[in-house]
Copies of this chain bind each other. A is one copy, B any other.
Amino acid sequence: MLPIHTSINYSKCGEHMYALAERLYPICRSITGNGVRETLRLINDEIPLTIVETPTGTAVFDWVVPYEWNIRDAYIKNSNGVKIVDFQKSNLHILNYSIPIKARMRLDALRPHLFSLPEFPDWIPHRTSYFNDNWGFCITHQQLENLPDDDYDIVIDSTLEPGALTYGEFIIPGMSEEQILLFAHCCHPSLANDNLSGIAMVVELAKIISSSSPRYTYRCVFAPAAIGCITWISNNQSELAKVKLGMVAALLGHPGKLTYKKTVTGSTLIDRASLHVLRHRNEPFDTLEFSPFGYDERQFASPGINLPVGRLTRTPNGAYPEYHTSADNMNLIQPNAMADSLSVYHAIFQLIENNHVYQSNFPFCEPQLGKRGLYRTTGGHGNPEQQQIARLWILNQANGQRDLLEIAERSGLKFEIIADAAAELTAADVIRIV
């Protein structure tokens, strides 16, 4: 069981996470290909991964694993032979999953294949064309506006060939076969917050959890978004019944407020635990109702899968201007924001691991706490202390059906205080875990 009290140096963890993100940043990732494999190799240096390759052509529910995409180089040269757009300088320059092309064309033919961001003329946008054969380049709007009419040499040295979709997984065995899922998508190219921050946080959390003896079995999954998540679900159908709950980890390095997005039901344990932790830390945070768009929580929420998977980000996708642009770089994310994210994730799972259901051994009237050293001795004072209040709430509510979190919520006390009191009362043989 994850201990309720620990002395993790989150600040130091923040530096580790930032350093891992920095190592992962240059890689050109996509939903398939060697970028994902290289990413998983670097993660494997931190925590031991099982790598799963699902071949092109495999049916995964309504989808089929596509051709694998790899890219060596890409550029646009003007008629003077000058490379004016160069994949080597930024992998965002390429429309992700572009088919190969080698051609010379005038600007008007090239123009429909150029993508830019008029509202942020200095940034390169991130654009993709999965499941739809196309090619293109993403450039700053300033460059686009100033492109002269000219003959351009277009080269995209990519391959789309039978291969596989790759994901990695680290399983931390727990005392119970019930599983908790931590899912981080790993398909975005050089974007720091989305989602090197989420990957690094899951890696660091996995180290913490695996260093204790967790109650639940944790599955830390690093997979491409959408098709990668669908593939993972398809490959694990026989295991899904064991999944108790989960969390999609993404966008955890930006210094904005934490934002919890509820599961489709909205009142499951992961919702209750996350919101309890967020409410009791005296930092502003946001709550989003479930919606069937965003990240991979939508796959877990589909009617046939129906797993309670929440999502905890900082500023959510689409809500900060740098989202899906070249400005989502290593300057956007901060070690202390990553440390803060980790501390909250950790607290949520500490809560869930300690959230037992208790039954009072003395359900008829209050037991005599005094003779067990659990009651102040001189009576008649004003209000009893918080610890005393926690004991009385547990004794009143411990009917073998309510979990500790419900008792914490009803009492208005922080979970740790209730958990400490439950531990004391258990040690004194006054209550027992059901």
Using a CB–CB cutoff of 8 Å, the interface residues on chain A facing chain B are: 60-63, 95-96, 115, 125-132, 134, 226, 229-230, 233-234, 264, 291-293, 298-299, 301-305, 318, 323-324, 360, 362-368, 370-371, 377-380, 382-384, 389, 392-393, 395-399, 411
Are the CB atoms of B379 and A128 closer together than 8 Å?
yes
Are the CB atoms of A131 and B371 closer together than 8 Å?
yes
A323 / chain B contacts, CB cutoff of 8 Å: 382
Given contacts A132-B377, A293-B389, A364-B233, contact A303 B383 (CB under 8 A): no
Are the CB atoms of A230 and B365 closer together than 8 Å?
yes
Are the CB atoms of A365 and B233 closer together than 8 Å?
yes
Name the residue on B nearest A362 (C-beta): B62
Are the CB atoms of A303 and B360 closer together than 8 Å?
yes
- Contacts A127-B378, A293-B384, A304-B360 supplied; 14 other A-B pairs, CB < 8 Å: A61-B365, A125-B380, A128-B378, A131-B371, A134-B378, A229-B365, A264-B396, A292-B396, A298-B366, A299-B365, A302-B360, A303-B396, A303-B397, A323-B382
Taking the closest CB of chain B, its distance from the CB of A47, in whole angstroms, is 27
A192 to B245 alpha-carbon distance, docked (Å): 56
Are the CB atoms of B62 and A367 closer together than 8 Å?
yes
Given contacts A293-B389, A360-B303, contact A129 B365 (CB under 8 A): no
Given contacts A62-B362, A132-B370, A293-B384, contact A127 B305 (CB under 8 A): no
Can you list 22 A-B pairs, Cβ within 8 angstroms, ordered by A?
Answer: A61-B364, A62-B362, A115-B378, A127-B378, A128-B378, A128-B380, A131-B371, A134-B377, A230-B365, A234-B364, A291-B411, A292-B393, A292-B395, A292-B397, A302-B363, A302-B366, A303-B363, A304-B360, A304-B364, A305-B363, A305-B364, A318-B382
Are the CB atoms of A127 and B396 closer together than 8 Å?
no
Taking the closest CB of chain B, its distance from the CB of A261, in whole angstroms, is 14
A299 / chain B contacts, CB cutoff of 8 Å: 365-366
Are the CB atoms of A396 and B134 closer together than 8 Å?
no
A383 / chain B contacts, CB cutoff of 8 Å: 293, 318
Are the CB atoms of A298 and B378 closer together than 8 Å?
no
Are the CB atoms of A302 and B365 closer together than 8 Å?
yes
Are the CB atoms of B129 and A377 closer together than 8 Å?
yes
A303 / chain B contacts, CB cutoff of 8 Å: 360, 363, 396-399
Taking the closest CB of chain B, its distance from the CB of A362, in whole angstroms, is 5
Are the CB atoms of B396 and A302 closer together than 8 Å?
yes
Name the residue on B nearest A323 (C-beta): B382
